[in-house]
Chain A
């Protein structure tokens, strides 16, 4: 059968969760970053003061089984604007969303926000290290088609239109980065059950302070876990 049935069967047998209680779902935690050496994520609603509109956190009685996980980056011009938060793409590399004019980018140095891809992810559940060190580079993806900015209409520059007639240079729409699969940027995980009452410590360790602030807006680091929400978990 397909991967979902195989995963659910395995989880039901291994973790003792009824097959019919496993619903495909996800968790998503976002952290706005500045100058720091550690990027912390909070996965539980009761521990977050003001979650963004695009976060999906564990409620107190929720249980979730992680099967895949990912770390990405996103940029919004106005962090308080929920529409912008909802429109922002989570990128798998330091695309043009994170800066302009090459000021933060050379042939030797990726953008500062992409420093996270040389860090390691640590995941501790109830004071037990579930993942002591995992390379964030495992989530780095640069697709074959990169994001490109568009060119706006420029009056007075002659060109040939598609109908063969002369005219002014027309606009070129921006291109978005290619996304190849539904799990693009994800890495498989040992199926692991977490719940809303555990002590969950999840962070990226950079080992040194780095200024991850963009020239425009706010940069976020986004953790996403795919897997199964356990429905009817508690009485």
Chain B
């Protein structure tokens, strides 16, 4: 049968979670990029001060099995005061699209590493962020060469897991101590408020299965 059935069977056997409790789902955490050497992501709602409308975080009683993960970039076009609509209309990019990030240093994340610690145990000590970089054949350009204002183009996105990397199926929950960060190892002014590359965010997304009726 299809990939979903195979994944659910494996998770059920391996992690001892009832097959019928696994529902296809995702988590998404976002962090605004300013001047920093470390980009932290918060995956749990009770630890996030202010969430964006597009984040999907773990509630206290939630359990989630990660099967794929991804780090990307987005720009809201609005420095520090992005509205809900700005967030909803921003595309999550799989590379440092020059038409969007030209005035920023957002491309530095692709030479950094991702670290994921669960309950003080290093689940992923160092993972290259470059593994999530995808440069599509079709690319957004600011000016349309045919002389028409529209279309300005789009960045290609060719499958449902575009930009994702596989992960060992791993169970996390809303009560654990989760430390997830991208380490640059040097302080970089990724985006300076007020310039034209405004409101740049790093986006972490995990695909997998939410455990329903967990508690």
Query: A residues near B, CB below 8 A?
Result: 6-7, 10, 67, 93-96, 99-102, 105-112, 114-115, 117-120, 129-135, 137-149, 151, 180, 187-191, 206-211
Contacts and interface: CB of A to CB of B under 8 A. Distances in A.
A108 B140 CA distance: 10
Interface centre among A99, A107, A180 (most CB of B within 10 A): A107
Contact of B207 (A6, A131, A135): A135
Contacts of B3: 188
B157 A141 contact: yes
Interface residues of B, number: 54
B100 interface: yes
Interface stretch (B39-47, B118-126, B144-152, B175-183): B144-152
A109 B53 contact: no
Nearest to B82: A108
A146 B141 CA distance: 13
A210 B85 contact: yes
Contact of A142 (B23, B53, B89, B154): B154
B71 to A, nearest CB: 14
B89 A188 contact: no
B191 interface: no
Interface in B13-58: 23-26, 28, 53-54, 56
A102 B149 contact: yes
Contacts of B205: 135, 137
A204 B194 CA distance: 34
B159 A141 contact: yes
Interface of B: 1-5, 8, 23-26, 28, 53-54, 56, 75-77, 84-92, 99-100, 136-138, 140, 142, 146, 148-161, 198-199, 205, 207, 210, 212
B152 A112 contact: no
Main SS class of interface, A? mixed
Contacts of A93: 154, 157
A144 B85 contact: no
Given A102-B152, A134-B25, A144-B156, A189 B76 contact: no
A109 B136 contact: no
A106 B77 contact: yes
Given A101-B150, A210-B88, 14 more contacts: A106-B152, A109-B86, A112-B89, A115-B85, A120-B26, A133-B25, A135-B205, A146-B138, A188-B4, A191-B2, A206-B88, A207-B53, A207-B84, A208-B88
A96 B150 contact: yes
A138 B68 CA distance: 12
A7 B156 contact: no
